[in-house]
Amino acid sequence: MTGHNTIKMTDLAELYRKLGFKDAETYIHSGNVLFSSSDGSNESELGLKIEKAISEKFNYIVPVMIRTNRELADLFTTNPFLEEPDFDPSKMAVIFLHEEPSDNQLQKVVDVDYSPDNFKIIGREIYIYCPNGFGRTKIYTNFFEKKMGVSGTGRNWKTITTILSMSEKRF
């Protein structure tokens, strides 16, 4: 919930608690909320429940991307850029997609080349590595949303690392 959809993180965490989620905790003003749920709902049901509550409480329609602690940890084994020569984590980001893209959506970016910036789509994540930084890159969230017709949210590698660390301490 960043950018034009501004919500105080304390208010967002409180909303999650009112929905019955345990231990709701936010990380800076990133829109990321760590929480646990034991109501038996699947990820899709949880996402819809949260989206509806945000719409009702804050009057924002935002897609909610949920990832488990295991899925966050898997980013460190599936990231195709960690072995890049002179890898710099400050030049790395991941776009979390609401849904896994279809073959048709993937075809829309198969020939995209903005070297030296590079990306790889694996499941519901788009890994982005920009060795010269993100200041002038063309390949970020808006590009993929428009080109592929997907919904996503990007986080830099430092944020991902911090959220995973917070999550591992909790679960």
pLDDT digits (tens, 9 = 90+) for 107-128: 999 999 999 999 999 999 999 9
Phi/psi region, residue 164 (left: phi>0; alpha: psi -120 to 50; beta: rest), is alpha
Q: What is the pLDDT of residue 6?
A: 81
Q: Where in the chain is the domain with CATH 3.30.70?
A: 69-170
Q: What is the pLDDT of residue 28?
A: 84
Interval 121-149 mean pLDDT: 95
Interval 63-91 mean pLDDT: 93
Q: What is the pLDDT of residue 1?
A: 41
Q: What is the pLDDT of residue 39?
A: 81
Output the pTM of the full model. Answer: 0.91
Instruction: Looking at the structure, give the CATH architecture of the domain made up of residues 69-170.
Output: 2-Layer Sandwich (3.30)
d(CA 89, CA 28): 19
Mean pLDDT is lowest, of 21-30, 91-100, 118-127, 154-163, for: 21-30
Q: What is the pLDDT of residue 127?
A: 98
Q: How far is CA 139 from CA 6, 15, 40, 112, 166, in A?
A: 24, 33, 37, 9, 28
Q: What is the pLDDT of residue 41?
A: 84
